[in-house]
Amino acid sequence: MSEIISKRLSEGFGGEYEYDPAKGLLKIGAGRVGALAKLLRSDPALSFDYLRNLTAQDFPDGVFTVVYNFYSFATGLNLMVHALVPASMQLESVTPVWPSADWQEREVYDMFGIVFTGHPDLRRILMDEDCNFFPLRKSFKLDLVHGMKDMKRAEDDKKNPKKAGAAKESDG
């Protein structure tokens, strides 16, 4: 079955991708996400009609990847797609092709700061609208966030309960 995916990708994208049939993993540039989405959904031989999930990864070197997991009920095919996020932190929304991507793209935006262009309602859903940080980025430091020192102290108290008791006595 993976031969079908390889054939359709080579016809539609030439050499602008890396596909590992053994892993069912496709790596593609962020600029090709929209065209890939349309191909995966509309090609009858592929018919990826179900977006299982969409998330992101932030690697220690500052490289972000958006990860899509697809399934085709018609063919039984699975496909994982990794889209490398450019420095602009933007890539095309797949919500017009798979409406279920709506909340998933919003969550990735909210937690990582990746902007999905063409999304019908891209706004924060977990953090406050005026929040100026993205908590799932590797660069995120809790103690740099104004108003969250008490959370940092609570974390420290959990790690060192004896010190926490001494701090409470001195506060009182």
Burial 92-118 (b: 16+ CB within 10 A, else e): bbbbebbeebbebbbbbbbbbbbbbee
How high is the mean pLDDT in each 10-residue block of the chain (172 residues)? 83 83 92 93 94 94 93 94 92 96 96 95 86 79 62 65 59 53
pLDDT at 15: 72
pLDDT at 14: 74
pLDDT at 137: 83
pLDDT at 129: 81
User: What is the pTM for the complete model shown?
Assistant: 0.80
pLDDT tens profile 118-131: 999 999 888 878 77
pLDDT at 138: 78
Residues 143 and 146: their CA atoms lie apart, in Å, by: 8
pLDDT tens profile 41-54: 999 999 999 999 99
In 3D space, the residue among 90, 50, 79, 82 whose CA is nearest the CA of residue 66 turns out to be 82
Please name each of the domains of the chain with its CATH number.
Answer: 2-133 (3.30.460.80), 141-172 (no CATH)
pLDDT at 171: 55
Question: Could you give the maximum distance between any two Cα atoms of the chain, in Å?
Answer: 72
